[in-house]
Structure 1
């Protein structure tokens, strides 16, 4: 105590030795306090844009703040703690700052939209990152033609490397791929090379292929330092080119890197597979930004094709690719405000369909009896779109793409009718290639009137004739717009997918289930939607091996459980004999060990079941594109399942609007 008093006296002497008065010191203290508050507020407002996504977190910390204040008052700190006033002042100050900050924070998807069709007022970005220039192969890596080494010109060599990298892939065995590749490769050759290289079968790319395999293996064997250096360079590019400024928001860009040249693969048996995807240059690029922004600079010695200032669109750059003549875009990341708003609107449109779907179904059922054939065809097509979640089927030029069809473009050869099959009446068998050349095969019983109409549509037609010869996508879409503003086949698909998920979750979720069992129920509900939408995939190449590894883990865990149960039995016998605290404690430890191993075993078994059920089903497509994320978020909140168990980091960023918006009682 004496030491403390002496210390305070010495401190007071030191304070007054600089001849400053109490009044001056108080004034100086107040000034510093104001500067500190201003500094904090400045920092707070500089991160306002960051907090757009984290309003919930601000509220959470403010709630903790208030709980601390309550605790202070409850413990009567005023009497016991000389610093109570300062603590309470600071806590109140932080609470006030939090509320001020919240008053400025408007969640991005709640912001007022422009009414003139504009998507933005200000847009600034750095432009795209181009693929690195071609690096010629070392002299020791040679190309052989008809058994003899041959030095290729740089353009011809580059295209040859594209083929050599794919030697182990089945694409290079397909005739159409080889034919298209050779045709485009010859366009890059010199006249001398063209005269010599006339047969692809005489070309030997083996040394090239082995060189690229060695390069790939070398990358895997890189040291941590080398990998870190590459990571840092990639991060630098992301920071420089991966963001744009749109209306005072720093938005992430989705695909700021231009795709490198290569060989077109396509899906299914695409007629253009093997063709050369040419290198995209600055002269091919159209830049879109605001007039008053700092325009992106093209690489030295080049220029952009055009610089536009179109605020009615959201793309930042575009170019036309040479294979199909389609326009490619650099767009914002799915987590951006505009993308989030578009997603929200898509699901809200599907929700609107819920209010009028019964009326629409009644109408198309009435139209099955129409006197006009075109109306009957339209009604049956709409029935298939509704019941089977078929795509409408876009019109396309013959021979330009793979032979894929949708509902409106079905041909006679794609449909078979069975008055009775497997104890079911009026069965229709569908067998055709849908989007991405995925086979759609389904046998379904339909209503009698639909079956009779299909028989009528098939009369006097050849296998290659259209099933709906008086219907196309334009006619169908026009009719859908008349039924409901904004209605399309995709809206029907989204509606049926989301409704199916919601119903399946209600049926499959058991309140008493563990978290892993609930996740299995969620995946089963998701699988029902994927089957409805025909979202298939080939089983992963490593599927069998991974399942064997998982089965080995299950067997090991079962052995552990058996041993743990025996140990528990022995511990119980010891306790029965001695009745002391030590043996009682041992029983409790062994019991907990058994419970822990049982939980671990159940997780592994659930994982094995989940993998087996979904080996040929692509759950991600429907989850990202057709299922209202608010259904999943509400389900997670209702049953205490972490959202990270359902959505990965990228998906959580994409659906941040839904995570913020949906409560546990949300209904689609």
Structure 2
């Protein structure tokens, strides 16, 4: 069965992220591939005459390239990014590259630039889009659907398949995550001359936009992408791939979670082995054992996976350096504690304190800042060792396994059939949150968080007042109906009871919602849900707890995990 499934595996992708290239396994190749190529964003249109950019208080008519980049900055002025020194410096340097010589000689100081009218115009356009009539929205929807119909599908081995990211990302300013050193840099417009097309020799070659040509047309049936280009900020390749909800992608997901599930049968033996290896006389074996402990227990990424051209000082387990850990004889009442502090994937800070010490002290002997902690280990060596313990086992499988098993255990501990739907969803999010904390999935609090919470609290206070009033009215109705045989009075009492009950339910729902929002303020729940949690656990939980699946999975996730929804019974165990 495994070989049959493996022979049909095709695509791997991540929603809304950089698409990675993936080679076919076992020499499997497609026979026919035809598509229309990627869809390019419209060209920039100059500003209206009544919207001006000002420098040092005077209006300046910018050249078209400089004006477009100026608008990118103006569009972000409500965001805290534009207040960060790194962002501003990177933006100004790249913006000046788009200016004419005369503009560069004039515009020397970003602080003297006034983007106010450009920002106001952008906000007006945003509001106008929000206030479109139903008829106008329908026209836009139909226009978008025509684009999807033309560019959003391909023919693969004579089967029609949806394409995931068929639209080329428009130019703009790079944001990154965390404190990325390249934030604010200009993401240049991708032209057809930058794009490599991949399709069958006997297919209709996609036509580039008028006046343009493709960088190259390939007929490589050993790779899984339809189009490829290199973005300028980090120098990484991006790919057009099949949609996440394609049948072939579903089979790939199934295999990923089955490998993690298989780890459950031998994880105790693997843990016993690396615990024994902690005492090995071979330094390389000891380092491998400590790294495995960190990957297993702390869910650290393996490391050594930085893309070519990436300059951010991000590390994983195998690429930790001496300055990333501090050893404490005692800390917070615990003995022999190691303190981690480093930038992980996407420049997200990892900070943790763990009681483990002896071997790390040995590894750090005669080393200085900048030296590798694991100087006799890299990701390739680690994964080679793991694959010898179990076919298909990599460091990432541990992350998937520990995330899924943690979710299942937390859901079991928090299970209460007497809870209402809102309380059940709070329990689910708390279980998911435990996984997000384990995997260090952080986010910055939404800029509208405080106002959103204030609005919700106002609704809670108003509902409390309504509840107090409803209780008083119920008390009065009971008093009037006491000792009376008048059915009308009894009916009034029942209505007042229902009103009180309804207010209590609504108040509880709002209070649970407030708790959930507060607890999720700096935690990103979607990353683990998308990439690390076996969806069959969530589907089975919904069936057991009588909760509709759309309460925890949006349409994108329901499409992506359609295979799990169809096959999972309520008694599924990871």
TM-score (norm 1): 0.77
Provide the residue aligned with 1:459 in structure 2.
365
Aligned 8 A contact 2:259 2:397 in 1: yes
Q: Distance in 2 between matches of 1:344 and 1:374?
A: 35
Aligned 8 A contact 1:547 1:608 in 2: yes
Change (3 A) 1:549 1:205: closer
Provide the residue aligned with 1:475 in structure 2.
381
Deviations 1:419-463 (A, max 9, x none): 3333433322212221122221112223xxxx2111212223223
Q: Distance in 2 between matches of 1:355 and 1:278?
A: 49
* Aligned match for 2:302, one of 387, 392, 395: 392
Deviations 1:612-657 (A, max 9, x none): 1111111111111110000000011112111111111111111111
Which protein has greater RCO, CA pairs closer than 8 Å, 6+ apart? 2
Which stretch has the larger CA shift, 518-527 or 230-239? Answer: 230-239
Kindly report which structure 2 residues correspond to 1:70-109, keeping only aligned pairs within 5 A, or say none: none
Change (3 A) 1:609 1:170: closer
Q: Secondary structure at the match of 2:140?
A: helix
1:667 to 2:562 alignment:
no
Aligned 8 A contact 1:433 1:439 in 2: yes
Q: Distance in 2 between matches of 1:200 and 1:541?
A: 24
Deviation at 1:384, TM superposition (A): 0.7
Q: Distance in 2 between matches of 1:254 and 1:596?
A: 44
Provide the residue aligned with 1:124 in structure 2.
34
Deviation at 1:216, TM superposition (A): 3.5
Change (3 A) 1:543 1:189: closer
Aligned 8 A contact 1:271 1:399 in 2: no
Deviation at 1:348, TM superposition (A): 0.8
Deviations 1:19-67 (A, max 9, x none): xxxxxxxxxxxxxxxxxxxxxxxxxxxxxxxxxxxxxxxxxxxxxxxxx
Deviations 1:174-208 (A, max 9, x none): 44444443443344344444455555555444443
How well do the aligned residues superpose, as a CA RMSD in angstroms?
Answer: 2.6
Kindly report which structure 2 residues correspond to 1:201-600, keeping only aligned pairs within 5 A, or say none: 201-396=111-306, 400-446=310-356, 451-600=357-506
Q: Unaligned regions of 5+ residues in structure 1, if any? A: 1-108
Q: Distance in 1 between matches of 2:554 and 2:347?
A: 28
Q: Distance in 2 between matches of 1:575 and 1:166?
A: 63
Aligned 8 A contact 1:119 1:314 in 2: no
Q: How many residues are matched? A: 556
Q: Unaligned regions of 5+ residues in structure 2, if any? A: 10-24
Q: Distance in 2 between matches of 1:261 and 1:285?
A: 15
Aligned 8 A contact 1:254 1:334 in 2: yes
Which structure dedicates a bigger proportion of its chain to helix?
1
Change (3 A) 1:656 1:201: same
Q: Distance in 1 between matches of 2:172 and 2:464?
A: 50
Q: Distance in 2 between matches of 1:110 and 1:368?
A: 38
Deviations 1:510-534 (A, max 9, x none): 1222222211111111111111111
Aligned 8 A contact 1:376 1:453 in 2: yes
Deviation at 1:161, TM superposition (A): 2.9
Larger Rg: 1
1:113 to 2:39 alignment:
no
Change (3 A) 1:506 1:445: same
Change (3 A) 1:396 1:652: closer
Change (3 A) 1:438 1:578: same
